[in-house]
Structure 1
């Protein structure tokens, strides 16, 4: 593992984007190709969902594995041994809590919330789109 200086780490962190990330673009292109129209980074909803399908009341979040704590127990153990681990454990724990709060609030407001991990979007885009389409289909049946 490479050890970065504070300046190198700062530069890396500054280049992490909050919107129009690679994983968002991959999923949006796949949806657009299938004929689905959406809003992106919709700031009228809590959490600014990455993709919103207003016609179907579906919000989609494209979550990065590190910042949203995929396999949290494993990641937490790694972070405990790392440089500045306490900071990251606290930050990611709060991100996970916030994700849960956002999911509950949006669901309460009548939205269906879908979350996809970045690696799943990159490696299994078609399966992610299929889950979205199944959600649309299930909603149409219940209406």
Structure 2
């Protein structure tokens, strides 16, 4: 089974939502992890709220750094630009998602929905063996 890491700067919003979807949608297909490159103090409440709206509970999610996750096969960065980390892996891609933090709840919902579509596509590519 492939190991997928979703990574952004703080591991407080986009990567956490992606991990939540990965654990739900990718169950049995890939293992899902998330991490950040810098310390932060909490998972963004807006991210927790919008995931809860669709039945994914992230209330127990913890912030993690790159050193907290295992070796991976696939690295997905969320759109962190020049600060995107390097981790050894067989495949890497950047999803280029804007961080909704600090904005209205609608922005969190739009980001959540984009992440869901991308995780569904990722699952399909892993199942087909193209990743």
Q: TM-score, normalized by length of structure 2?
A: 0.40
**Which of these two proteins has the greater Rg computed from alpha carbons?**
1
Q: TM-score, normalized by length of structure 1?
A: 0.38
Structure with the largest fraction of strand? 2
Structure with the largest fraction of helix? 1
